[in-house]
A = this chain, B = another copy of it.
């Protein structure tokens, strides 16, 4: 599984950081998911190897423009690029209404179906290779985190338990092994109840804007990586008097409290220039978070890519 940051600025784009967009790529094949789609996300995609044809879903964390104003354009470009396959959109209800108004006002008729799933109902969404769970956050508007768990896990069937339950050897066993729940004699059998899991599946949590990281306790169970906004440092948060966002220390304290192995901070206020020599320095975020967090800490920047390998090891992908 790879994480590729397409935009890491809060509110407005800067010369070096676009507004929010995060690509999560499946470990096999070219399938990918886009979390948030600020204006210009499609322009960023042009500078990567990602293709609109292999995009599985777009998930929007909340309705603020710096997280969704790129949505009409990316859909229009996918259409002009010849996409025919249905596309899943997981987003708050307001996004659906807005897209419909946009299609009508700008006479955009997509040649592919949009399968809209309402985030407000905190859905669990099953893709072929990925399970996505939704968790509520705290922001001025409804905001969500999406937890991506790989479905095809490294596991052996618990044959003894299956025989005892009377499940016949065959396709049902295969489905359970691949991580799919099955229905058997009117009962739902959960895949994970019939598997010896050798290694925990890869799991990445990507959160939207959020003033209360502690709301992510359940989402982060068995996650190797949390991506969370840190719009401010603690000092700047105090001065800004802003209540809808987190600051670096607050997020790091939460990550430490749940023993999260990897934390990526992003969505930095545009007041913080990219270069480490500038004032106020982006490195202030690192120092503040590291003072309370003993896991591996990363500060996102545009086009920074990470890989999470099978054994749960997370690292930056070197520039090619």
Q: Judge if A101 is at the interface, Cβ distance under 8 Å.
A: yes
Residues A39-95 near B (CB distance < 8 A)? 39-40, 42-43, 46-47, 63-66, 68-70, 72-73, 76-77, 80-81, 94-95
Do A72 and B77 form a contact, CB below 8 Å, given A42-B39, A46-B14, A97-B105? no
- A42 in contact with B13 (CB, 8 Å): yes
CA distance A72 to B67 in the complex (A): 12
- B94 in contact with A101 (CB, 8 Å): no
Q: For chain A, which range describes its interface: under 10, 10 to 19, 20 to 34, or 35 or more residues?
A: 35 or more
Residues of the B chain whose Cβ atoms lie less than 8 Å from the Cβ of A47: 15
The number of times this chain is found in the oligomer is 2
Measured between C-beta atoms, what is the minimum distance from A111 to chain B in Å?
14
Instruction: Using A69-B106, A97-B101 as known contacts, list a sample of 12 further A-B pairs with CB atoms less than 8 Å apart, ordered by residue number in A.
Output: A15-B46, A19-B73, A39-B40, A39-B73, A64-B107, A65-B72, A65-B106, A68-B106, A69-B72, A95-B105, A101-B102, A101-B105
* B-binding residues in A (CB < 8 A): 11-15, 18-19, 39-40, 42-43, 46-47, 63-66, 68-70, 72-73, 76-77, 80-81, 94-95, 97-98, 101-102, 105-108, 140-141
| Interchain residue pairs with CB less than 8 A apart (8) | A39-B43, A39-B70, A40-B40, A64-B107, A66-B73, A69-B69, A101-B101, A101-B105
